Amino acid sequence: MNEPKRPLPRSDEFDTQAFWAGTKEKEFRYQQCKQCATVVFYARRHCTGCLDGELEWKVASGRATVYTYSVVRQSYHPFFRNQVPYAVAWVDLEEGPRILSNIVGVEDPLTEVSIGMPLEIEWEEHDDLCIPLFKPA
């Protein structure tokens, strides 16, 4: 029997295509406004600070901290059912973007994950893209 697979995002959508292409290169890309320097994530066509349309792509270092998290103890999705318990966290990257992701590399997320915990990015590889996950730094 085949192992259940993680549901994956579409990598061909106009606004997010450059982000997902970067993940294939193991780069976490985000945007920054050229006018007001607002960090923009998730990818968009305009600045969320000043509404200007001149955004440039930057690459994050991969260093991050846990903003907040929750431990999932039960899941009905075939892929995630085999992962429980696991931590889902809002992660603040050093450069400013905040992303919802999983904390990996811990045996017991109930005792090993905490707010403010330093993290580093870990890439889960797939054919067309990589998923950014985070592990303790």
Domains of the chain: 17-136 (2.40.50.840)
pLDDT tens, residue by residue, 98-130: 999 999 999 999 999 999 999 999 999 999 999
Enumerate residues 6+ apart whose C-beta is below 8 A from 3: none
pLDDT at 1: 57
Q: Which of 22-26, 64-68, 81-85, 87-91 comes out lowest in average pLDDT?
A: 81-85
Q: Is the pLDDT of residue 3 over 80?
A: no
Cβ pair 33, 54 in contact under 8 A: yes
* DSSP 8-state assignment for residue 57: E
Mean pLDDT of 2-10: 86
